[in-house]
């Protein structure tokens, strides 16, 4: 069973550019969540996708958008990058419903570290 993987591991962009981060969920998981972790802070929820539909969104502007694909992998897109977007971006997957109950536990990938100059 493979865990959550993310690519790339590191990325440097300049202000105003656009970036796409990718995530492959753990085998058997149909739900993917994205978090932003600024240096020295706890992760902040960006949004979640369940079976290719957005299923909750945190307090992030519309320039943060996402996709989930039929194989449950996911992308996070950020347009018009700002300096404050520099952070570790974490993807987490969860199995959704298992045994008739929603499974809340999320399993995290290693993250993509984004630096905006």
Partner 1 sequence: GNSVTQMEGPVTLSEEAFLTINCTYTATGYPSLFWYVQYPGEGLQLLLKATKADDKGSNKGFEATYRKETTSFHLEKGSVQVSDSAVYFCALSQSASKIIFGSGTRLSIRP
User: Among candidates 47, 53, 34, 31, which has minimal Cα distance to 97?
Assistant: 31
* Cβ-proximal residues to 99 (8 Å cutoff; 6+ apart), any chain: none
Nearer to partner 1, 59 or 71 (CB): 59
The answer to the question of residue 41 lying near partner 1 (CB under 8 A) is yes
> Given the rule CB under 8 A, which of 20-28, 33-41, 65-73, 78-86 is the region that contacts partner 1?
33-41
Using CB under 8 A, which of the segments 11-19, 20-28, 65-73, 108-116 binds partner 1?
108-116
Tell me if 4 contacts partner 1 by CB under 8 A: yes
CB 49 within 8 A of CB 68: yes
The answer, yes or no, to whether the previous bond of 8 is cis (omega within 30 of 0) is yes
CA distance 73 to 68: 6
Binding site for partner 1 (CB under 8 A): 4, 33, 35, 40-45, 48, 50, 55-56, 58, 90, 92, 102, 104-111
């Amino acid at each position: 069973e493979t865990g959550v993987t993310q690519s790339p591991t590191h990325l440097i962009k300049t202000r105003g550019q656009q970036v796409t981060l990718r995530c492959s969920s753990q085998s058997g998981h149909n739900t993917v969540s994205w978090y932003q972790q600024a240096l020295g802070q706890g992760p902040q929820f960006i949004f979640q996708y369940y079976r290719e539909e957005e299923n909750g969104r945190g307090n992030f502007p519309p320039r943060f958008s996402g996709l989930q694909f039929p194989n449950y992998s996911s992308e996070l897109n950020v347009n018009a990058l700002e300096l404050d977007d520099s952070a570790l971006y974490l993807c987490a997957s969860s199995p959704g419903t298992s045994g008739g109950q929603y499974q809340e536990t999320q399993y995290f990938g290693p993250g993509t570290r984004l630096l905006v100059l």
